[in-house]
Amino acid sequence: MAKIKVEYLGDLRTRSTHLPSGNELITDAPTDNKGKGEYFSPTDLIGASLLTCMITVMGILANEKGIPFSIKSSSINKIMVANPRRVSVLEIEIEILDEGQSEKQRKMLQNAAEECPVAYSIHPDIKQDLKISFL
């Protein structure tokens, strides 16, 4: 279990400290919601959390099963809606280097991404549109 301390710095900005390591993360409200947008917004972190979780669990699986695994690129696009203001869609793209992975190995990597803990933790009303390609 990791405990996190959050401080309000004013001007719609926070600093989160991961107490076990001392690492810090700053957030701002986005510019379209009265903020400066100089750092990740809290809703940006939902997307970042999902994508980093997917890549991490694919890496764990690849290490355990001896599957070649290198990310060429990855991105996530967060789509917001109003009334209530919330994340509506997370569009995820992951490009994995084609290093001769079999179809079975590719499917295992896809399943690992889809079944990461963050994916299961996000409300089902938020659409997760995952596209994985091997290049």
CATH number at residue 95: 3.30.300.20
Cα separation, 7 vs 93, in Å, equals 33
Are residues 20 and 81 part of one domain? no
Are residues 106 and 48 part of one domain? yes
Q: Domain span at residue 103?
A: 42-134
* Tokens coding 31: 């510019």
Q: What is the pTM of this model?
A: 0.92
Helix (H, G, I), strand (E, B) or coil at 14: strand
- The answer to whether residues 27 and 45 touch, using CB atoms and an 8 Å cutoff, is yes
H-state helical runs in the chain = 42-65, 103-114, 117-121
Are residues 51 and 75 part of one domain? yes
**Res 2: pLDDT:** 83
For 1-32, the pLDDT digits (tens) are: 789 999 999 999 999 999 999 999 999 999 99
In the predicted structure, residue 50 carries a pLDDT above the cut 90: yes
Average pLDDT over residues 51-59: 98
**Res 74: pLDDT:** 98
